[in-house]
Amino acid sequence: MARHSRRRRRAVALVLLLAGLLSGCSSGPGGGRFSSANALTTSAQELRLASGPPPGIARELEKHPADPYVIEPGDVLLIQPASLDSPLRLPGDQVVLPDGTIQLGQYGHLSVAGKTLPIIEGEVNALFKTKLPDAGVVIVRLITRDSKVFYVLGEVNSPGAFPLRGRETVLDAIAGNAGGLNTNASRRKIILSRPTGPDSCRIVLPVHYNAIVQLGDATTNYQIRAGDRVFVPARSMWEDLCGSWKDKKTACPQTPCFPRQDAPTDTANKSGPLPLAHTPDMTPDQPATMGIPIPPGPGPKPSDDLPAPSKVTPTTTGTPPGYEPLQPPGV
Q: CA 265 from chain center: how many Å? A: 34
Which residues make Cβ contacts (< 8 Å) with residue 148, sequence separation at least 6? 69, 72, 163, 164, 226
**pLDDT tens per residue across span 127-137:** 988 888 888 89
DSSP per position, 43-99? HHHHHHHH--PPTT--BTTB--PPPPP---TT-EEEEEESSTT------SSEEPPTT
Task: Calculate the dihedral angle through the C-alpha atoms of 139, 143, 146, 151, rounding to the nearest 10 degrees.
Answer: 120
Domains of the chain (ranges plus CATH)?
Answer: 29-64+148-241 (3.10.560.10), 76-144 (3.30.1950.10)
Amino acid identity at 73: P
> pLDDT digit of tens for each residue in the chain (331 aa)?
666 677 777 776 666 666 555 544 444 444 455 556 788 888 888 888 888 788 889 999 999 999 999 999 999 999 999 888 888 888 888 999 999 999 988 888 899 999 999 999 999 999 988 888 888 899 999 999 889 999 999 999 999 999 999 999 999 999 999 999 999 999 999 999 999 999 888 999 999 999 999 999 999 999 999 999 999 999 877 666 655 455 544 456 666 666 776 665 554 444 454 444 444 444 444 444 444 444 555 555 544 454 555 554 544 445 445 545 555 555 4
Per-residue model confidence (pLDDT) at position 283: 47
User: CA-to-CA distance for 151 and 157, rounded, in angstroms?
Assistant: 13
Task: Calculate the dihedral angle through the C-alpha atoms of 95, 100, 106, 107, rounding to the nearest 10 degrees.
Answer: 120
